[in-house]
A and B are shown apart, each in its own frame.
Chain A
Amino acid sequence: MKVRIWNRNVLVNWGVPIAAVFLALVVGAFFLGLAGANPLVAYRSMFYEALGTRYGLTETVVKAVPLLLVGLGICIAFRTGMINIGAEGQMIIGAITGTAFALSFPGLPAPLLILFSFLAGFAGGALYGFIPGILKAHLNVNEILTTVMLNSVALQLQFLLLRGLMMDPQERAYGTGYPQSASIVEAARLGRLIPRARIHSGVFIAILLAVIVFVLLWKTTIGYRMRAVGKNYDAAVYGGIRVKRYLVLSMVLAGGLAGLAGTIEVVGVHYRLLDGVSAGYGFSGIVAALFGQLHPLGTIPSAFFFGALLFGAERLQRSVGVPSAMVHVIQGLVVVFVVSSDYLTKRFLQKRVDVGFKRIRQEGVAAPEELPPQGKSNE
C-alpha cells in the first residue's frame, strides 16, 4: 500500500501540537509580562539566542541529544502502555554506572572504553527501569508512582556517591568538597565536532538509535507485540502475547536509553559526573516524545525544538533578567497544552468517520449491524 507522506492526517498530527505549543507560549507571555519583561523581546531573544548564534545553535544540539535519547525510551514505554515518568532517575543511574566504568578502567583502548561505558550506562538505566517494570507486570503496582519515587531515590544516591565514594580525590585533598567525580580520561571522551563548541559525536549515536528504535517498533515482531500490548492489553493477552514480558522489556529498554543519555552527558559534555547531570531532561524528554507523536523519527525534530526552547529559556535570565524558574513554567505549560491537544487531534481525525456514519443514517443505507455487546474490555 502506498502511503502519502503529506496528507490531512499529517497536517493535523503536526499542526495541532504546534498550535498547542504556540498557545502555551502565549500564556507564558503573560507570566513573562508579570515578571517585568516584554514578552515579545523575551521570546525574540530566546529564539535568537538558541538558533541565531553559532554558540546557541551548537548548545541547542547538545541539549537535543539527551532529549532525543530519553524521548526514544519514552516512545517505547508509552507505546507499550507504560507511563514511565522515571527517565530522570534512570538517566542519573546511567550516568553513575557509565562514569564508574570509565573511571575504573582508564587503561582500555579508546573505542572499547567508550563502548563499554555506554553498555554500563545502558545496563544501569535498564536495571533501574526493570524495577518499576517488574512491579507493574507481576504485582500491578502503578508505574507512575514507583518511577516518581525512584527519581527521588536516584537523586539522593547521586548526592551520596558524589559526597562519598565517587568524589574527586582532588576535591577531598584540597578540602573544597565540591560534589563531583574525578574527570574521565581522554580516551573515554566522545569527539567534539567543531572547535570551541561542546557539540559532540553523541548526536550521531542518538539519530542512529532513533532509526533503530523505529525499526524495532514498526518492523519487528517484538515491536509489534509491544505496540499491541499498549493498544489493547486484553486483546494482546487473548492473542497469546506474553504481555508481562513485554511490559518489563519496554521499561528495560526505556531505562536503558535514558541511562545511555546519562552516560553520554558525562562522556560527551561534562567529562565527569556532577550534581544535576540529568538537569530535568528526564521530564523534558517526555514532552519531546509526545510532541513527536511518540514516533522515534518524529522525536528527532521535536528534540531539537525543545533543545532550543530549553536553551533559550535558560538564557532568559541573562538576556532579560527573568528568574530561571521561568523554564519550568514554560515547560509545564507546554506539557499541559500538548497533552490536551491530543484530544483535538483525535477529534479532527475522527470527524471523517463520524460524517460517514451520519451519511449512512441519513441516506438510509443499511447501517452495519450492531455488534453484540462486548465483555468488559480494557478494564
Chain B
Amino acid sequence: MSEFFQATVILGLLTAGVRLATPFLFAGLGEMLSQRSGVLNLGVEGIMLIGAFVSFYVAFESGNLYLGLLAAVLAGGFMGLLTAFVSVTMKAVQGISGIGIHILGLGLSGLFFRLTMGSISTMRGFPRLAIPILKDIPVLGRVLFNQNWMVYAALLLVPISWAVIYKTTFGLKVRSVGENPHAADSLGISVTRVRYICVIIGSIMASIAGAFLTIGQHEAAFVNNIAAGRGFIAVALVYFAKWNPLGVLAGAFLFSMIDAFQLRIQIIDIGIPYEIPVMLPYIVTIVVLALSTRGRVLGPTALTKPFVRGVHT
C-alpha cells in the first residue's frame, strides 16, 4: 500500500514537473533566441507578468481562452518592440534596462489588475487533452501525454528552435549577428533588423509563458507578481543551457522538478517553515550557474554589446 502511495506521489510530482516546465520552456527558448542575436533581455519576468494578466483578463471578459492568448501575444510583441528599441536602437546597458522593463511590467500588471478586476477571480483554463494511444503508455502516458495543448506546444518548440537556429538561413543570420555583428553587417545582414525580430519573438514567447501561468492552469487565476521569479530563472536557464535548445529542455525540467518538489513540500506539512522550500529554486539556480560556467563558456560573443558600425568593442 505504501509503495503504491509512493508511486502515486512520484507520478504526481513528475506530471506536475512536466506541466511546470512549460513556462520555463517558452520563456527560456525565447530568451535563448534573443541572446543568440546578442541581446540580453532581462525584462522577461515583467513581460511574463503582463502576458499573465492580459491573457487572463481578456479570456475572463470574453470567455474565449484563445482570444486571451492572442492578447498576450500582442502585448508581448509590444513589450518586445519596447525592449528592442531600448537595447538595440538606444543601445542601453541591457542589464539595467531589463530591470526597468521588469519593474514596468510588475507595475502595469498590478495597476491594471486593480483597475479592471480588483479582486481575485477564477475561471477554467485550457482543459487537458489526452493524446490517444500514447496516453495508454504506462507512466509516460500519464506524465507526458495527458496535459493541455500548451504543454505539448512548448515541448514541440524545442526541436523547432533547434531546427530554426541550426538549419535555416535565418538561424545562421541570428548566430552570425550574435557572434560577429561587424562581419554580418559587412555581408549585408541588417544587425538591427535581426535583433529586433529575435527580441520581439523572445518577448512574445515570454508573454505566452506568462499566459500559461494563468489560462494554462486548470483553475486559472491572476494574482499580483504571479511569475514569482520564474522569468529570471528562465534567463539563468539559458546560461545553464549554454545557448542550446536541448540544454534549455534539460534546464527547464531540472527547475520545474524543483518547483514541483517545493510546492509539494509547502502543501504537506513536514515541520519545516515554508520559506525554506521557497528559497530552494533560487539557491539551486545559483549553484547550477556556478557549476555550469566551469570550463569553457561558449556564449554569443556579442552578447550585451550594442552594435555600432565601425566601432569595435
Contact = CB atoms under 8 A, between A and B. Distances in A.
B104 interface: yes
A332 B42 CA distance: 13
A152 to B, nearest CB: 5
A379 interface: yes
Interface in A110-139: 131, 135, 139
A152 B92 contact: no
A179 to B, nearest CB: 11
A52 to B, nearest CB: 25
A144 interface: yes
Interface in B219-263: 224, 229, 232-233, 235-236, 239
B46 A377 contact: no
A326 B294 CA distance: 42
Nearest to B277: A156
A333 B113 CA distance: 18
B282 A135 contact: no
Contact of B93 (A148, A339, A377): A339
Given A283-B99, A343-B90, A378 B313 contact: yes
B273 A164 contact: yes
Interface string B297-313: 10001000010000011
A325 B110 CA distance: 6
A325 B111 contact: yes
Interface residues of B, number: 52
A367 B92 CA distance: 32
A236 interface: no
If over half of A's interface residues share one DSSP class (helix, strand or loop), that class is named, otherwise mixed; here it is: helix
B184 interface: no
B11 interface: no
A102 to B, nearest CB: 23
A151 to B, nearest CB: 9
A208 interface: no
B67 interface: no
Contacts of B279: 152-153, 156-157
A329 B108 contact: yes
User: Across chains A and B, which 7 residue pairs bring their CB atoms closest together, nearest first?
Assistant: A332-B104, A328-B107, A335-B100, A325-B110, A329-B107, A332-B103, A340-B90
20 contacts: A35-B111, A145-B235, A145-B285, A146-B289, A156-B276, A283-B99, A323-B111, A325-B109, A326-B107, A329-B108, A331-B103, A331-B107, A332-B102, A332-B107, A339-B90, A340-B86, A343-B90, A343-B306, A344-B90, A377-B312
